[in-house]
Amino acid sequence: MRRPLAALAAAAVAALLAGGAGCGPARIVSRRPAPQPRPAAERLTVVLEPFFENADPVYKRDLEERFVTDHMGRTSRQFVQVEVPVTPFLARPKSLQKEHTLVLERVRALRPTWRVVSTSDLPPLEGLVVLVRTVVGRVTPAGSDRWVISSIPIFWGATITEALNVDGTLARYLVDAEKLRDRVLRYPAQPDFAVDTTGLSGQSQEFTFDLEYQEQVFTDPRSHDEALLGGFADRLAEAAVALVEGGS
């Protein structure tokens, strides 16, 4: 006896849902090989300042509850659609802290001879040090096939490819280590110690990274976040090394 088409479709969807629970994690698509560590690099002391952000908010629609009183004095509850500003994921305070930790690790791995530290735990330093400041700017979608794949059940096992463009600025300053501690302070919007760079001569460079990543419809969102943070940190570390070496 033939099973109704509706039952067959329901069974197919259930199978896809069950299979989706075990799908692989999100991953960054590598467009070029990562640079290799250079153990013979010049010995430098690099201070990586905690990250700042200057990102444009993303506006998302939400429903806001409001109580309205009419001319008769009667109060009624209404839900109004509003545009809510949301900070992009890579520019949020917790993300910036995680990115800072990851970039410290990556720069140390790329340049093992460098002494790479953060301003939050400065050891005794001598001579000139290179201070690196990072400002994360706009984070904008650069393309996606998610809607097509996620809206058609037969495609739920396919790979979704998405891309983000991330803009920002890296800057380097040469600072006398003895005077660096006198410049360490806390900005109101900064969760960790920063450096007062007033009067310092520096060199800055803007960056634009295209982060392309792949996942599936039922990929764990936590692996999505980890992939973005890791991929962004890789690119930042490479750019920071290039800036430091280009100005030394």
Window from 110-119, 122-131, 206-215, 216-225 with minimum mean pLDDT: 216-225
* Four-point Cα dihedral 83, 52, 96, 239, nearest 10: 120
27-52 pLDDT, tens digit each: 666 666 777 788 767 889 999 999 99
| Tokens encoding 147 | 């809607």
Q: Percentage of the chain surpassing pLDDT 90?
A: 34
DSSP letters for 125-176: --SEEEEEEEEEEEEEEEEE-HHHHHHSGGGTTSPEEEEEEEEEEEEEEEEE
Say which CATH architecture domain 5-57+88-247 belongs to: 3-Layer(aba) Sandwich (3.40)
Q: What is the pLDDT of residue 218?
A: 59
Flag whether pLDDT at 146 surpasses 90: no
Least confidently predicted of 55-64, 165-174, 179-188: 55-64
What is the pLDDT at residue 244?
A: 94
Q: What is the mean pLDDT of the chain?
A: 78
Find the mean pLDDT for residues 83-93: 87
- pTM, rounded to two decimals: 0.75
Note the pLDDT of residue 201. 85
On the question of pLDDT at 137 being above 70, the answer is: yes
Residue 92 CB partners (closer than 8 Å, separation 6+): 53
Burial 177-212 (b: 16+ CB within 10 A, else e): beebeebeeeeeebebbbbeeeeeeeeeeebebebe
H or E segment to which residue 84 belongs: strand 75-86
Instruction: Specify which residues 128 forms β-bridges with.
Output: 176
